Amino acid sequence: MRAEYVCPECEETILAPESLAGSSAPCPKCKTLIARWPLPLEKEAIPLPESLPAKKTRERFEYVCPACNEIIESGKGLEGSTNDCPECGSRIKKWPAPKPPKVKARPAWQRAIIAAVLAVVLVVVAATVLAYVSSRPSEADLAESAKPLVTQIIRDNGGYEKCIKVEILGRIDGGGYKAAAELSNGRFLPITIHKVKGMVYVEIQR
């Protein structure tokens, strides 16, 4: 005797022998292997609601049969159960876990665009860093440029000493440098050094 069953996966109604209840078999509509079929529908009429609810989309998983290596689609309940493979008919005592869902890869043209954009960004960043480093004067160059300027300032103020060495002591607010100028008579003068648009400026601190 045949009865009506509702597939737990696609929710379609099928006609099958009453012996289907509780057994393992694929659905003839969606071909999904059902690990355990539910009881058949009751024959009494059920009034339809005014608006039918939307069918729930059940998640389907892909399993690999350990016997034939064929991919079988079924629900989550097949994992760990004992059921026959609908492809090769082998009795699988414990079905393995389903395959992980496939991650959709980006198209090749999208990957190429992303790689090109990243390459341009890296080039711009590298060029910016290089330009910044190149524009910063080295302390040794500043010290050498400051020596004749210190000597000139001393001569302009009526002195005869010569600056023989400038030692950079550290940076100050505003981007300048604090330094000490050693004179030919052994004295030291505190000075500040600034470089603006390629020009070096020296100021003697009183």
Tell me: pLDDT of 45 over 60. Answer: no
Return the H-helix or E-strand segment holding 134: helix 108-135
Tell me: pLDDT of 97 over 80. Answer: yes
The 10s digit of each residue's pLDDT in 71-80 is 888 877 777 8
Residue 25 banded pLDDT, cuts 50, 70, 90: confident
Residue 179 banded pLDDT, cuts 50, 70, 90: very high
Among 187, 140, 189, 132, which Cα is nearest to 168's? 140
Residue 166 banded pLDDT, cuts 50, 70, 90: very high
Tell me: pLDDT of 184 over 60. Answer: yes
Tell me: pLDDT of 168 over 80. Answer: yes
User: How far apart are alpha carbons 157 and 52 in whole angstroms?
Assistant: 102
The 10s digit of each residue's pLDDT in 109-137 is 888 899 999 999 999 999 888 876 665 56
Classify residue 153 by its DSSP letter.
Answer: H
Average pLDDT (57-82) is: 80
**Is beta strand 13-17 parallel, antiparallel or unpaired with respect to 25-26?**
unpaired
Amino acid letter for position 70: E
Residue 51 banded pLDDT, cuts 50, 70, 90: low
Residue with tokens 């052994």: 186
